[in-house]
Amino acid sequence: MRTATVLATLVTTALSLVLAAPAQAASTVDYVALGDSYSSGVGAPGQSGTCLRSNNSYAAQWAARNSPASFQFLACGGAVTDDVVKTQVPAMKAGAELVSITIGGNDAGFAPTVITCLTSSDSACAAKVESGKTYVNNTLPGKLDAAYKAIRAKAPDARVVVLSYPLIFDTTSVLCEMSIAKRKSLNSGAQVLDEMIKSRAAAAGFVFSDVRDEFSGHGVCSARPYLNGLTVIPPQNSYHPNTSGYSNGYLPALSGAAG
Residues tagged active-site: 37, 240
Residue 236 DSSP class: G
234: cis peptide before it, omega within 30°? yes
What residues contact 216, with CB distance under 8 A and at least 6 apart?
167
Q: Contact 169/221 with Cβ under 8 angstroms?
A: yes
Question: Which of these, 147, 142, 169, 173, lies nearest to 160 by C-alpha position?
Answer: 147
Q: Contact 194/132 with Cβ under 8 angstroms?
A: no
Q: Contact 198/146 with Cβ under 8 angstroms?
A: no
- Strands (DSSP E) contained in 103-163 are 159-163
CA distance 117 to 110: 11
Angle of helix 140-154 versus helix 180-204 axis, rounded to 10: 40
Question: Which of these, 139, 249, 246, 162, lies nearest to 208 by C-alpha position?
Answer: 162
Question: Which of these, 47, 42, 31, 113, lies nearest to 78 by C-alpha position?
Answer: 42
